[in-house]
Structure 1
Amino acid sequence: MTTHILRHGETHYSRQYLVNGDPTRAIPLSKDGVLSCGLVWHTLPLRQVSTWLSSEFPRARQTASRLMGVPEPGPVVDARLNELDYGDFEGGPFLKYASWLQQHGGRCRPPGACESQREGIERMLVGLQAAVEHPSPRVIVCHGLLVSVLHWYRERSAGDPMPLFFPEAPYVQPISFEDEDLLRCVKSLLADIAAEPESDPGPRCDAENSRAEEELDVATFDRVNHPHAQRDLPDA
């Protein structure tokens, strides 16, 4: 009973490091994103997959359809696997959102958003938990943040707190779990989030402080942009 979880292919938004958390925006895969879908055939036994799942986003559904090899029937769509809601940062540079996130923390909702980063991660994890109810083997096409969190879980040391910024997830490269391990992972991560303080130190999450215009400091900029740094990149 196995689940293979992967990030969708590249889009022109993700190439430019722009954020997209609105599934109604038609942002398709780039040419490179389409080509990358063909590489997974050398990694996974795709013809043996019993259940395909994806988020609501066009880029995730397009990736799943290309991996399936046929346009219909499409994947099972689960909105719990959606990308974060970026609120007023929608369509803008990731660095502006990252600056705001650094200032306000993972439990604060961005202006105009319906969820915080931590609430979004919790939602995605619940979607993963529900996926095991479908026939196995399964392939889940989702977004970079969820895949990054799963990689962090596997690589972390005991007692490590969940960071704000995670290593960037590669496009269309699966991370695989047996059901028991996946459920254990989800339970552990949900417990980690629940154990965090209810509010983060620093500025309040009110409208006056919501738009973080100051630049990221050099260390943070390197952490977000360096190819081997920790980063929670936009997932468009």
Structure 2
Amino acid sequence: MKTHILRHGQTEYSTKYLVNGDPSVPVQLSEEGVRSCQRAWTVLPLHSLRTWVASGFPRAQQTALLLTGVPAADLVIEDRLNELDYGEFEGGPFLGYGDWLDRRGAWRRPPGAAESQREGIRRMLLGVQACLALPGPRLLVSHGLLLSVLFWQQNRPAGEAMPLFFPEAPCLQPLDVQDAVLGGWIADLLSDLDAEASQDPDDRGDAAI
């Protein structure tokens, strides 16, 4: 069985490289984001899908509904696929968060955030893992960080450690993976995160002032 995972369509936030990790902020697709969902029918086997899953964010659910072409009463909402909690960086440029991340490290939680980057990645991976129990083939509509991690894992050089920053994942570019392969990726990535956490446990927790 196969899982198709993609980042939501374009938004005004994504074109300006602003971060939004708060699902209560109503960030919707841009006009181009809506049009690109219509074009996605040519690259995704949408008629064969049995399960549709979206994160708890409006833009992910809007993307899924546009792809179905009909009201999707059976859309599964999986909050573990949500975007990263950016804390005080919410609504600001990614470069601001990126600079903080570079200085503080992947296991530190930004002020006001409930999770660090690595904690967020773990959450997302567990969300994908849970979705593998749903009837397939399935489509998961999520966010850039999750897709960036999975695309990196797909082409990962042997022995390379998980980086702090990942190449940006394009909107609506699907990652099509056999379930057995995807399950192996998740197991490897979770093992990497466990190893990181055990090596430097003092670098975890709330951000230093």
Class of the TM-score when normalised by the shorter of the 2 chains: over 0.9
Distance 1:109 1:70 in 2: 39
Q: Match of 1:73?
A: 73
Counterpart in 1 of 2:53?
Answer: 53
SS class of match (2:108): coil
Sequence identity, in percent? Answer: 56
Distance 2:125 2:202 in 1: 22
Unaligned runs of 5+ in 2: none
In the alignment, is residue 134 of structure 1 matched against residue 134 of structure 2?
A: yes
1:184-221: CA deviations, max 9, x gaps?
010000001111133587xx9312xxxxxxxxxxxxxx
List structure 1 runs of 4+ shifted beyond 2 angstroms.
Answer: 197-201
SS at 1:40 equivalent:
helix
**Residues 10-19 or 72-81, more deviating:** 72-81
Q: Which residue of 2 aligns with 1:62?
A: 62
2:168 aligned residue:
168
TM-superposed deviation, 1:158: 1.0
Give the Cα separation in 1 of the matches to 2:74 and 2:91.
27
CA distances 1:41-81 after superposition (whole Å, capped 9, x unpaired): 11111011100001000000000000011123152001000
Question: Deviation string for 1:168-193 (max 9, x for gaps)?
Answer: 10111110111111110100000011
Aligned 8 A contact 1:108 1:199 in 2: no
1:221 aligns to what?
none
The answer to whether structure 1 residue 149 and structure 2 residue 149 are counterparts is yes
Distance (Å, rounded) in 2 between the aligned partners of 1:59 and 1:88: 21
Structure 2 partner of 1:211? none
Q: Distance in 1 between matches of 2:134 and 2:66?
A: 21
Query: What SS does the corresponding residue of 1:176 show, helix, strand or coil?
Result: strand
What's 1:40 paired with?
A: 40
For residue 109 of structure 2, give the secondary structure of its aligned residue in structure 1. coil
**Residue type at the aligned position of 2:91:** G
TM-score (norm 2): 0.95
Q: Which runs of 5+ in 1 are unaligned?
A: 208-236
Compute the TM-score of the two structures, normalised by the length of structure 1.
Answer: 0.84
- What corresponds to 1:97 in structure 2? 97
In structure 2, C-alpha distance between the alignment counterparts of 1:48 and 1:17, rounded to whole Å: 34
Letter in 2 for 1:187: A
Aligned pair count reads 205
